[in-house]
Amino acid sequence: MTTSASSGKVWFITGTSTGLGRALAHVVLEHGDRLVATARDRATLTGLTEQAADRVLALNLDVTDPAAVRRAVDAALEAFGRIDVLVNNAGYAMRGALEEITDQELRRQFDTNVFGAIDVTRAVLPAMRSQRSGHIVQMSSVGGVTTMLGGTAYGGTKFALEGLSEGLAAELEHLGIGVTIVEPGPFRTDFAGRSFRWAAPIDDYRPVIEPAKATFVAQHGAQPGDPVRAARAIVAAVNLDTPPLRLPLGARSFDRIRAKLRARLDELDRLEPLGRDTDFPT
């Protein structure tokens, strides 16, 4: 596919087969923009190409395959000539106590959620630097600010992504490239269903992990968040004159993040007499 169309932004979104990524892809097209939609199985993207065939490039992409990442970015640039917005959405969650999760499972979690996002970002940045413009949207989570029982590994990947993205934003600002870290709460997607993976249990952790697991599974299909409204908020944020560094999504996200930050400030004040006066005397 090669097109000379020049209207609207060009979005490159990973993980558009389902969930928030799919909702965002549809909203981007509704907005009149152009879309590079990627998924591990391109066949899942038919609905997007049917929506706007002349504005969609659908590609196979496993973000844990660096060569595939570079091929996809090259194909996007060949088709549209530029990439204005990168959305690192591809990812999944592994749940269980840290000791229950195998080395292989933990590394795969970080390979997808962290190093996959890093590889795609690095592949896109040369084009954005050349343009002296662009925006990178990192799909984090409320779990990237405050963790829940059973979410240690997943939260670890999102905490890592948030730290990397905050540093990246400072590096790119003078080049005209922005970064927004999106922190969704629970949304009505497959995230709590087939997209989730569970570690083999260890009996000693059952008293805390099993109730957390039951609560998590019970919310599947009843999450309060509307993916379409979330997608519209993301598009609106990217199009602000000054897009935010962080964008929580959903009432539960705002409530949990606010509670975490207030607790952190309270603890900071409480521990200041103990930890502040540890510098060399002046």
**Residues 195, 98, 199: CA angle, nearest 5 degrees:** 40
Query: Which pLDDT belongs to residue 4?
Result: 42
* Partner residues linked to 13 by β-bridges: 37, 87
Query: Which pLDDT belongs to residue 223?
Result: 78
Mean pLDDT across the chain: 93
Query: Which pLDDT belongs to residue 197?
Result: 80
Q: What percent of the chain has pLDDT over 90?
A: 83
What is the DSSP annotation of 193-226? TTTEEEPPP-GGGHHHHHHHHHHHHHTTTT-SB-
Catalytic annotation, residues: 140, 154, 158
What is the average per-residue pLDDT within 115-136? 98
* The amino acid at 126: P
Q: What is the CATH number of domain 10-273?
A: 3.40.50.720
Distance, CA of 62 to CA of 155 (rounded, Å): 21
How far does the chain reach from its first CA to its final CA, in angstroms?
67
Query: Which pLDDT belongs to residue 279?
Result: 94
- Which residues are CB-contacts of 61 (< 8 A; sequence separation ≥ 6)? 14, 38, 39, 40, 68, 69, 72, 90
Query: Which pLDDT belongs to residue 236?
Result: 98
- Would you place residue 6 in the very low, low, confident or very high pLDDT band (cuts 50, 70, 90)? low
- Would you place residue 82 in the very low, low, confident or very high pLDDT band (cuts 50, 70, 90)? very high
pTM of the model: 0.93
Distance, CA of 19 to CA of 189 (rounded, Å): 5
- Would you place residue 221 in the very low, low, confident or very high pLDDT band (cuts 50, 70, 90)? low
Query: Which pLDDT belongs to residue 115?
Result: 98
Query: Which pLDDT belongs to residue 155?
Result: 96
What the block records as the tokens of 193 is 């269903």
The closest alpha carbon to 63, from 127, 157, 172, belongs to: 157
